[in-house]
Structure 1
Amino acid sequence: MTDELIFLNFFFLGRLFFREMGQSLFGTPPHAKNFWARFLMGFLLVLFITPLSLSLFYFLLYIIFLCLDSLITPKAERQRALWYAFTLLLPFATCIGQPQLAPLSKNFQFAVIPYLSERFWLVLLGFILTIKEGTIIIRMALNNLRTVPFSEENKETDKEEYERGKWIGILERTFIYFLIIFDQIGAIALIVALKSLARFNELNKRTFAEYFLIGSFLSLLVAAVPAVLVRLLW
């Protein structure tokens, strides 16, 4: 199971650092430099998985998923959402049920690798998913529901508020995720209360209140589901 977790971590780390959100949200074509950065990142699998034949097998899977993820960008909003869900779930579906072909060993690995347990890779994977993938899922839902913050001056999307909301959501999901991991669920109420208090005056506006509430509930859900699954699996 550890080899599959390492593969999933590197695949989603590549999506975290080098995949533009606009590709899923607006159909923006990916930049070539990001594709090649993710491609080169796949070579790290050779250093983390042994024997060499097994690492090459996972590298081949990595390249296949990378091409599906990067080279196909549907234009229609509904098709983009379905394709995003497919590329998100396909790596998991491929890894589930695979036999343990080879354990971690010291061959061709850094000395630190033997000390990184399966639990470490599992927690890291869940955390990666709550950051980038969680943001994309929330943005897709808000865009689909047409619940985005608008500027009162020009009646267009308030990009500054939208960007602030993204980073607030990332911090919120980070706290919620690790609070669940460390079995401190009661402290989540404090995070939600502080966030609501900071935006209390703005909740008088209906459009902002809808954006805030839907975004907050989705953020809580997106952080809680991976955390609960990690707790169940370890």
Structure 2
Amino acid sequence: MKAIFVAKRFVDEYFPHCQAAVLAGSVVRGEETPTSDLDIVIFDNQIENAYRESRIEYNWPIEVFVHSLTTYKNYFLTDAERARPSLPRMVAEGVVLVDTGILSNIKNEAAVLLNKGPAPWSEQTLLTKRYMLTDALDDLLGTQNEAEALFIANTLAEAIHEFVLRTNGKWIGASKWIVRALKQYDEDFADRFVDAFHAFYKTGDREGIINITDEVLAPYGGRLFEGYSLGK
């Protein structure tokens, strides 16, 4: 309740004429940490260009995302195209701070987009992603340089998560949302994914990463090198 009180106070003070506002993020989901901020989305028909701003107010870090009643639609679209629906998720999950009667429709737009999922990959994109995963895995198999192996594994972690989620019609994530997105899709797979990379980072064991890469590639023809072509 303290977070909601602070968020309402912030909106009342800095956006008193807005048409709507929601509080989203970890404090709404009950996942806040000592460094969590308040994510506030503002809808204000007086602004011309959308913007994002970071503030410290009332001893709280605040991230405010300000939109007109039209700019948010473009952000919904671009978020869907990149398959990371940050703004739609914030709007859909957000707790209402201010509403002059417009939020129901906007929340419904967000929910429809989230439920629909990202557009499927084209055949060429699928081939390219298979090739890139194969290439990164080959790098991990071949390198004897421990420093290089660390960052190859980082690349593989992001690429594996993207491949398995996109080929199953699910939204992807970034940073902490990689694991969250995987858990939303399949908790067992997410646990095995984390275990594979944890084993590598802790002991250098690459077997788990190899196995999980081959697992996600198998339904689509496995590793790809011979015959791959782009732009020919």
State the TM bucket, normalised to the shorter chain.
under 0.3
TM-score w.r.t. length of structure 1: 0.24
TM-score w.r.t. length of structure 2: 0.24
**Larger C-alpha radius of gyration, 1 or 2?**
2
Higher strand share: 2
Higher helix share: 1
